[in-house]
Amino acid sequence: MGRDESALSAAVDRAVAAGSSLAKGDPAAARAYEQAAAASFHELSGPENADVAYALVLQAQAEHRLGELTAAEQSANRAVAIASTFPVGQSAEVDRIRVQALNAAGTVALWRGDYRAAEKWFVAALSDAEQTLGPRDEHTALILNGLGIVGKHTGDFDSALAYYTRALEIAVETLGREHAMVASLEHNLAGLAYSRGDAAAAEPHARLAVQIRTAQLGPEHPEVAADKGELGSILQRLGRLEEAETLLAEAVAMFTRAYGSDHLEVGIARTSLGALYHQAGRLEDAEREYRAGLAIREGTVGGGHPELAATLANLATVLASRGSFKQARETYLRALRLLDGKVTTEHPIRRDCEELLAELDRRAAAA
């Protein structure tokens, strides 16, 4: 084997190792492998080749899971720029990389809270995937899942359900019922039902996600932690607080072990734990967890992210219950500002904030 062939083989091995590290829930190792792979591909074939684009896709995924969204956005956009220089249909492998790059860009925009940009990326990816990979390809299902998440966050719940349902059909058909992508879709169907106020319908989806993902990835995988956290929130809504607290505390601990105490997922899990304490009437504990979770999330995604609105609304309710009416009002208003122009007028969090703020104002006027 010549020097270039040996170097290419080593670069491919690094890319494979990166994918394996991502699957195992170790994004830091994945990023290190991918940075080395991308540099090697760049040196061997120049900056505008499909291997570099693929390495950047994996790098964006690792950075996203580490909560480094600015770096992830840059990596995804570079991957799209490189992959888009190749004609559609020239190579099945390159077509798949281009679709993956478009999907990665949509995923990063989604996590940044830019739902319009995310939808545009996902729509472009879906059009490309259906044309080049086929309407029943697993990557088509992955993109449909992304569009479902956009619909859920913006309040277009019917569209979200249609996207998730179609994605699940494809995933089961192409990958089998026990695949991790099926677990992700069950997780998201649970989240959608929860957002629609139907915790009873959400529970079986959430339990199935925990079951599949634990079997596929092991009990300590961060995605299992996410599934447990979601199931805990659902059980909290159903009033089964003891099991819910156990699951949510496990999620916080698992994410902390995997990523450290200041990671986005830890912040999300802590705000969920705060919601449980809130429902249990432990208002001091609830306020502590809400504020800690918000601080972590603001430090990773910024203070303008629309997904902070739900926790802000909950914090405002706790503040009002503890007599801090001025702080409560300011917090409701901040939540509404975050949602303005990002969700439908009938989105449940927006509607709740408006109603609770109006109630605060009525109480103040009557005082």
Write the pLDDT tens digit of every residue in 14-50.
656 666 666 666 777 766 765 665 566 555 445 567 8
The pLDDT-based confidence of 363 (bands split at 50, 70, 90) is: confident
User: 213-244: b or e for each residue (b if 16 or more CB lie within 10 Å)?
Assistant: bbebbeeebbbbbbbbbbbbbbbbbeeebeeb
Contacts of 286 (CB under 8 A, 6+ apart): 274, 275, 277, 278, 314, 318
pLDDT at 262 over 70: yes
> Quick one: 200 exposed, middle or buried, by C-beta within 10 A (0-12, 13-18, 19+)?
exposed
Percent of the chain with pLDDT over 70: 88
Q: What six digits make up the tokens of 91?
A: 């190579």
Please check whether residue 367 lies inside any domain of the structure: yes
- Is 341 within the bounds of a domain? yes
Overall number of domains in the chain: 1
Which of 290, 242, 246, 251 has its CA nearest to residue 269? 251
User: Which residue pairs from 196-199 have beta carbons closer than 8 angstroms and sit at least 24 positions apart in sequence?
Assistant: 196/157, 197/348, 199/234, 199/237, 199/238
The reported pTM is: 0.83
Give me the helices (H) in 155-240, please: 157-175, 180-195, 199-217, 222-237
Closest alpha carbon to 115 in 341, 356, 360: 341
Check whether 1 has a pLDDT greater than 50: no
Burial class (CB in 10 A: 0-12, 13-18, 19+), 345: exposed
Do the domain assignments include residue 329? Answer: yes
Question: pLDDT digit string (tens) for 206-220?
Answer: 999 999 999 999 999
9 within some domain: no
Domain that holds residue 362: 306-367
**pLDDT tens digits, residue range 49-71?**
788 888 888 888 888 887 788 88
Phi-psi region of 260 (alpha: psi -120 to 50; beta: other; left: phi over 0): left
d(CA 330, CA 110): 27
What's the pLDDT at 33?
A: 65
Question: Is position 311 within any domain?
Answer: yes
pLDDT for 3: 41
Mean pLDDT value of segment 101-112: 94
Q: What is the pLDDT of residue 45?
A: 47
The answer to whether residue 64 is domain-embedded is no
